[in-house]
Amino acid sequence: MTTTIVPRHAPSVRPDQSDDVWRKAGDWLQRHQATIRMVQWTMVLVYAVLLIVPVFLPLPDNAAYLWSNFTRFAQFVFWGVWWPLVLLGTALVGRIWCGIFCPEGAISEFASGRGRGRAIPRWMTWPGWPTAAFACTTLYGQMTSVYQYPAPTLLILGGSTLAAALIGFLYGRNKRVWCRYLCPVSGVFGLLAKLAPLHFRVEPPLWQLSQLSGTKPKAINCAPLVPIRTMRGASDCHMCGRCSGFRGAVRLARRSPNHEIVHVAGAVAKPWETILIVTGLMGLAAGAFQWSVSPWFVQAKTWAAERLIEYGVTWPLEATAPWWILTNYPGDVMTLLDGALLVAYVLAAAIASGASTFSSLALAARCLGPWRTRRLHHLAQSLIPLAGAGVLLGLSGLTVSQLRSDGIVLPFVDPLRAAVLTMATFWSGVLCWQVTGIYSRQPVRRMLALFLVGLAMMPAVAGWVLLFWIW
Ligand code: SF4
């Protein structure tokens, strides 16, 4: 006689009819992995052409347009279209870029299937790598003018791809160890994916039911090493679809874009995510987009040059470095003074913005009750819409300036920027309000915390206002 064991917690959430289309879309991905691989290798080809060919072409002159010069075209595609769309896409549909289109992830996984298959070393699992790598590549990209020249683009993106292949070859078997632990943009993608209204939802009761029924489904290979059974958010998931339908408990589903930040992100304190949001995206990245048009930078440079001349030390004003250290092209040369001031400006923006934002967040966390570090990190998560929108606006600034240099003026840009910034700030405020509700029922405390988080947003908002409307 067989006994049917019914779990104490019967499945409470069942796929409703309106979600059927998403479930089917997830299942479609699961069944079409060969098609996805074809897409990935096509992207590898496109990526390689855009990355490598411009290096062998002469640098474009003033008469070159993006439709008549391949280097200009590649520049525009990479920085003006590709990156802004990847960021926007991640916030809209999760990390589908990583799982379906990313050439680096595909190469890393391919290498991992044929490599040494070693165990992942402990040092690699340090959670600070994505934040540190993001900061270093952002700074180095500015020093070498990565948005303007093909050689540093090849060096930075190509170097990252080589590293991804090497890590894949050495560690894991059919995994994406690089993407999981080291990719310089995985931290940013992980943050933005928390806003996505789509995710692969795991229903623990259905999973449990499947286990109790004795079913042994074929194992799935989750390349970015997500613990699927306990997955509650979209931050680490690459949306590859391989686990769709697994044990009848995983499906692509809609959710509120606020859900993960309000109800999931506070469960575990993630200090490195706080640093990435507050110092990386709202400080360092903003400084990187600003310095070249900042009158403060010009004033600091004039002041430093005058002092150096006064003391008879003129070599920092004349000495240059190879292009792979500091920008060095005919008619566009950074001196050591330029380079030092650029690094100082971007770091100062990161420290100043980070310190003031962090202080306001800490006060807001304290307003909600006795000090809890986890609460501070949870409140920091509510800044993700503003932090993400800032980077998107910064990148779209490149799109606009590239088009403008080719005579294409987009008249609606300023109102659109204002709308994006306002909506992102408002969204962060709404998230903050909902997060405060988890920690306090007292309206006064919550209002005070909201006010302080509003203050925390001010440096970033002011930075973008200065960049787009005042300077
Ligand atoms: S949890 Fe893993 S296998 Fe499932 S969709 Fe996400 S990345 Fe793919």
CB neighbours (10 Å) of residue 31?
12
Substitution candidate for ligand 1 out of 98, 177, 186, 239 with most atoms within 8 A of CB: 239
Our answer on whether the CB atom of 251 is closer than 6 Å to any ligand 1 atom is no
Q: Give the burial class of 409: count Cβ atoms within 10 A of its Cβ; 0-12 exposed, 13-18 middle, 19 or more buried.
A: exposed
Contact 460, 393 (CB under 8 A): no
- Note down pLDDT in tens along the chain; length 471 residues: 333 333 333 344 455 666 899 999 999 999 999 999 999 999 999 999 999 999 999 999 888 888 999 999 999 998 889 999 999 999 999 999 999 999 999 999 999 999 999 999 999 999 999 999 999 999 999 999 999 999 999 999 999 999 999 999 999 999 999 999 999 999 999 999 999 999 999 999 999 999 999 888 899 999 999 999 999 999 999 999 999 999 999 999 999 999 999 999 999 989 999 999 999 999 999 999 999 999 999 999 999 999 999 999 999 999 999 999 999 999 899 999 999 999 999 999 999 999 999 999 999 999 999 999 999 999 999 999 999 999 999 988 888 888 888 888 888 899 999 999 999 999 999 999 999 999 999 999 999 999 999 999 999 999 999 999 998
What is the residue with the minimal CA distance to atom 3 of ligand 1? Answer: 222
CB atoms within 10 A of CB 411: 6
| 3-state DSSP assignment of residue 295 | helix
Going by alpha carbons, the residue nearest to atom 2 of ligand 1 is: 222
Separation between Cα atoms, residue 244 and residue 242, nearest integer Å: 6
Predicted local confidence at residue 13, as pLDDT: 47
- 177 Cα to the center of ligand 1, angstroms: 14
Which of 226, 230, 251 to mutate for ligand 1's pocket (most ligand atoms within 8 Å of CB)?
Answer: 226
Phi, then psi, of 16 in degrees rounded to 5 = -90, 170
Ligand 1: centre distance to CA 101 (Å): 14
Inter-axis angle of helices 336-367 and 373-381, to 10 degrees? Answer: 120
Rounded-to-integer distance, Cα 344 and Cα 357, Å: 19
Q: Which atom in ligand 1 lies closest to the alpha carbon of residue 221?
A: 3
Rounded to the nearest whole angstrom, what is the distance from the C-alpha of residue 192 to the centroid of ligand 1?
Answer: 17
CA separation for the pair 68, 62 (Å, rounded): 12
> Tokens for 299?
């004033």
- The per-residue pLDDT for 62 is 82
Whether 99 is in the pocket of ligand 1, judged by its Cβ within 6 Å, is yes
Q: Is 243 in the pocket of ligand 1 (CB under 6 A)?
A: yes
How many degrees, rounded to 5, is the angle at CA 110 between CA 106 and CA 111?
120
Which of 296, 271, 258 is CA-nearest to residue 378? 271
Q: Measure 162 CA to ligand 1 centroid, in angstroms.
A: 24
CB of 240 shorter than 6 A to ligand 1: yes
- Binding site membership of 201 for ligand 1 (Cβ less than 6 Å): no
Residue 93 alpha carbon to ligand 1 centre in Å: 14
Closest CA to 402 of 55, 81, 19: 81
Residue 227 Cα to ligand 1 midpoint, Å, equals 9
Q: Quick check: helix, strand or coil at residue 201?
A: strand
* CA distances, 471 to each of 287, 297, 463 (Å): 14, 12, 10
Atom of ligand 1 at shortest distance to CA of 200?
A: 5
Ligand 1 pocket residue status of 105, Cβ below 6 Å: no
- Tokens, residue 316: 């920092």
Query: Is 238's C-beta closer than 6 angstroms to any atom of ligand 1?
Result: yes
Contact 364, 456 (CB under 8 A): yes
Per this entry, what is the length of the chain?
A: 471
For 391-447, give the secondary structure using H, E and C.
HHHHHHHHHHHHHHHCCCCCCCHHHHHHHHHHHHHHHHHHHHHHHHHHHCCCHHHHH
Take atom 6 of ligand 1 and give the residue whose Cα is closest: 237
Given ligand 1 and candidates 23, 40, 175, 222, which is best to mutate, with the most ligand atoms within 8 Å of its CB? Answer: 222
Phi-psi region of 25 (alpha: psi -120 to 50; beta: other; left: phi over 0): alpha
Based on its alpha-carbon atoms, the radius of gyration of the chain, rounded to whole angstroms, reads: 24
Query: Ligand 1: which of 180, 243, 250, 251 to mutate, most ligand atoms within 8 Å of CB?
Result: 243
Q: Does the CB atom of residue 179 touch ligand 1 within 6 A? A: no
- ∠ CA 248-251-254, rounded to 5°: 145
Q: CA separation (Å) from 60 to 54, 73, 144, 220, 406? A: 10, 10, 17, 48, 13
Those residues whose C-beta lies under 8 Å from the C-beta of residue 214, and which sit 6 or more positions away, are none
Residue identified by tokens 């998403």 is 22
pLDDT of residue 17: 63
Q: Angle at CA 277, nearest 5°, toward 172 and 400?
A: 100
